[in-house]
Amino acid sequence: SDKLEAQGRSLWTSGAGNGQTFAGAAATGTHGSMIARGGIQDHIRALQIVTPSGIRWIEPDTGVMSDAFIAATGSTALRDDNMFAAAQLPVGSLGIVTALVVDSVPKFLVRPIQNLRKVDRAALDWLAAGDFRRFSAAYALDQDPDFVQMIVNPYKPFKRPAMLRFLYREPWRDDYPRATPGQLGAGYDALSLLGRLLNDYPWARGPLLQFAMKQGYASGPDIDAPPVYGSWGEGLDTHRPLADLFNASVTIDRADLARAFERICAVYARHGGSTVVTIRFMERAQGLLAPARFTHNAVIDFDGPRSQRTADAYARVVECLDAEGITFTRHWAKSCRLDAARVAADYGEDFRRWRTARDRLLPDPAHRALFGSEVLDGLGLTC
């Protein structure tokens, strides 16, 4: 974000925090957080991949860079829609990515609104239907938001206030008053400080989680505060973990949110999950193995202090979704409890197409093994 914004440009989406490498975030399908956009890998327009059999410059059929440019990189042009869709999200399995062509948009401002509010069950139906304006009017501004995030305490999620964060996009102007990330309401590390307490005092998880949300998350500007503005990059604090964290998520069809949410919270709390539950929204992402593969997506994160109880609780969430017949995917870079059979089932024909592209880039099994690991082999990506 810093490099682009210094040139008057901006990413149009990313995860809800800074600090990751762009290549790593794209390679693992890191979700976006702008409700009308897809994933961070959607910015990629072309890429260079090095394998033992050569250097490939991969683009869509229509092409992006000139033949002369590609030749100057020492690459062989490979213009193919399916290959490009596979390479946008390679999960570390297609070779060494040595260059990316990244798209951007003109720099813009966002106005954040952040508050603690009790959310009604009916509001989940608005979100499931994509009526973000109605949700925003009820809990923040009567405007169309570009970003909606709800951080809830899974212990009594409708009785305890949720931390709500909205971003409203506005045209760029150079004379806006500068604000710090804290003044913009950024920062998601408060729970890191409570890891030991949440693990050692399971009976107090609900109150402790609520205390952390109140102390660490509610400092952003509410509707009655003077407006503050920042660029997209300025509005996302750099993530600095303060403790050993547990990270997991599921992505579901947004239409399933209302029937899935309460079940998820109930199961997670019953089995001792020690993290908040965060919901964000995005459109379908590019890339054959993008977890955000529904037309409209709700991404539900379980991020916070690491403990075996929390891992077990997440496992019960996954079982619950399966039992309820709710289709979902999981983030490649988080605790995902996946195996090759489940990957094949979740991604279907897109997984077959991805493997066909992989075998075209790495036809020799010995070469594929160079990029393997116990995790990637177990997911069926490198064997």
Q: What is the pLDDT of residues 147-190, one digit of tens each?
A: 999 988 888 889 988 989 999 999 999 999 888 777 787 665 54
Place 194 in a pLDDT band, splitting at 50, 70 and 90. low
Kindly give, in sequence order, each residue whose CB lies less than 8 Å from that of residue 128, ignoring residues fewer than 6 positions away: 254, 255, 256, 257, 258, 298
pLDDT reported for residue 212: 64
**Which domains occur in the chain, in start order?**
2-106 (3.30.465.10), 109-329 (3.40.462.10), 340-378 (no CATH)
Kindly give, in sequence order, each residue whose CB lies less than 8 Å from that of residue 371, ignoring residues fewer than 6 positions away: 92, 93, 94, 95, 362, 382
Q: What is the pLDDT of residues 35-51, one digit of tens each?
A: 999 999 999 999 999 99
pLDDT reported for residue 193: 46
Q: What is the mean pLDDT of the chain?
A: 89
Q: Out of 1-5, 128-132, 240-244, 371-375, which region has the weakest mean confidence (pLDDT)?
A: 240-244
Give the torsion sign (CA, 250, 251, 254, 256): negative
Place 88 in a pLDDT band, splitting at 50, 70 and 90. very high
Q: How many CB atoms lie within 10 A of CB 24?
A: 13
Q: How far apart are CA 152 and CA 264, in angstroms?
A: 12
* C-beta separation of 242 from 189 below 8 A: yes
Kindly give, in sequence order, each residue whose CB lies less than 8 Å from that of residue 127, ignoring residues fewer than 6 positions away: 135, 148, 150, 254, 257, 258, 279, 281, 298
Q: How many CB atoms lie within 10 A of CB 231?
A: 20
Its pTM stands at 0.91
